[in-house]
A = this chain, B = another copy of it.
Amino acid sequence: MGVTIKEVAKAAGVAPSTVSRVIADNPRISPATKKRVRKAMKDLGYHPNVNARSLVRSSTQAIGVVMPSSADKALQNPFFPEVLRGISAVAHDLEYSLLLSTGETEEEILEGVQRMVHGNRVDGVILLYSRLRDKVMEFLHEQNFPFVIVGKPNENIDTISHVDNDNIGASKEITQHLIGLGHRCIGFIGGSKDLAVTVDRITGYEQALQQAGLPIKKEYRVHTEFLKSGGRKAVHQLFSLKEPPTGLVISDDLMSIGVINMLEEFGLYVPEDVSIVSFNNVYMAEVTRPPLTTVDINIYELGAQACKCLVEKIQNKNEPAKRIIVPFEIKHRMSTQHLKEETSKRA
């Protein structure tokens, strides 16, 4: 079907090996020959067969991208397209292909990844999530297969390359913002505690509280998958406390939108009644009502750096494990305001 290197060789009157070297731009081939061969390639519409190449080089020019389980709605989070955009940009530059892997269950995902690495389909893998005792991560680690995590590994943090934000710092800073506005009762809403990112953001939140001499109350913390019925109940409880929070640190913009909606049902408005800050700065955060004060974690860069880092690791097997921290930036918008007098008196 396709035209092969041999046909090009014949057309150009050289040996296949010469054509191969022309493709690789090997200096041992004279400029004149190169020109001739290139013409033949163009004339015949030649394109190298990557499978054959992969076979002998035992390296595909491809990297696997592993998404979290698609069972939950988390996948609908614009985080993923955006990080993919970053990965894709540098992959394209470096002439790498992207192999995607998802599945409904963790088991399915693991299968997919195993197919990828055992079958020699990819040279390395990017993990788009980081959860406690993750099978996929364990598998890659024990296979000693090149991979990098977007986020922060829960174990082996020094031997696993990862690119992350300073989530503790970011969370601390944005919580301080709330404190600076006079809030004293500040709640935290986040996803599963198995997610490293959740843990870090709680830590930062608590650090800020502590540093300001504010009490850390367990009942101010709610963990919910993604605003499903269970989530509603939790938020409802939070605002049924004798002393409900006046400020909320929320781990994700999309959650914020859900919470704002829910609060409105209770007759509570943002930012008049409760101030909200969150994370990620997805596009919706700008467009929603009110626009969200949120920390921009630079998702695109997260992806780009991860891809760059992975390729370095692939090309040099004993590149040391790296930890790359991409800077965040707080976007001040309309979802927070100074604590109102009456409410502050209440405290």
Q: What are the residues of chain B within 8 A of A104 when measuring CB–CB?
A: 89
Chain A: interface residue total (CB-CB under 8 A) = 59
Q: A301 to nearest B CB, angstroms?
A: 15
Which of B50, B85, B89, B254 makes the CB contact (< 8 A) with A120? B50
Q: Which residues of B contact A62 (CB under 8 A)?
A: 99, 121
Please tell me which stretch of A130-138, A170-178, A280-288, A305-313 contacts chain B, meaning at least 4 of its Cβ atoms lie within 8 angstroms of it.
Answer: A280-288
Interface locus among A15-23, A110-118, A181-189, A235-243: A110-118
Q: Verify A284–B287 contact, CB threshold 8 A.
A: no
- Bound form: Cα–Cα A82–B71 in Å: 11
Per-residue CB contact flags for chain A residues 75-90 toward chain B (1 = under 8 Å, else 0) read 1111011101100110
Contact A84–B97 (Cβ < 8 Å): no
CA–CA, A254 and B287, complex, Å: 9
Asked whether A102 lies within 8 Å of B119 as measured between CB atoms, the reply is: no
Is A42 interfacial (CB 8 A cutoff)? Answer: no
A267: Cβ under 8 A from any B Cβ: no
A258 interfacial contact with B, CB 8 Å: yes
Expressed in whole angstroms, the Cα–Cα distance for A235 and B323 within the complex equals: 46
Which of B47, B121, B282, B288 makes the CB contact (< 8 A) with A76? Answer: B282
When the two chains form their complex, are residues A49 and B282 in contact, meaning their CB atoms are under 8 A apart? Answer: no
B100→A65 contact, CB < 8 A? yes
CB distance from A168 to the nearest CB of B (A): 27
Check if A287 sits within 8 Å of B76, measured CB to CB. Answer: no
Write out the residue numbers on chain B whose beta carbons fall within 8 Å of the beta carbon of A50. 119-121
Per-residue 0/1 for A207-231: is the Cβ within 8 Å of any B Cβ (1 yes, 0 no)? 0000000000000000000010000
Chain B hits for A108, CB < 8 A: 92
CA distance A50 to B60 in the complex (A): 11
Residue A54 lies at the interface, judged by CB distance under 8 Å to chain B: yes
CB distance from A254 to the nearest CB of B (A): 7
A227 (CB) vs chain B CBs: closest residue = B287
A102-B84 contact given A227-B287, A257-B284, A257-B288, CB 8 Å threshold: yes
B49 and A119: CB pair below 8 A?
Answer: yes
Task: Say yes or no for A332: interface residue by CB 8 A criterion.
Answer: no
Q: Is there a chain B Cβ closer than 8 Å to A163's Cβ?
A: no
For the complex formed, measure the closest distance between the CB of A126 and the CB atoms of chain B, giving whole angstroms: 12
Given A2-B118, A73-B283, A264-B289, 8 more contacts at CB 8 Å?
A47-B119, A49-B120, A51-B60, A51-B121, A76-B81, A97-B99, A257-B284, A260-B289
The 3 residue pairs across chains A and B that have the minimum distance between CB atoms: A47-B118, A76-B78, A50-B119
The 24 listed contacts between A and B (C-beta, < 8 Å) are A48-B119, A50-B119, A50-B121, A51-B120, A55-B55, A73-B283, A76-B82, A76-B282, A76-B284, A78-B78, A81-B81, A84-B100, A85-B102, A88-B100, A88-B102, A92-B103, A92-B108, A92-B111, A95-B115, A97-B99, A98-B101, A227-B287, A258-B287, A260-B289
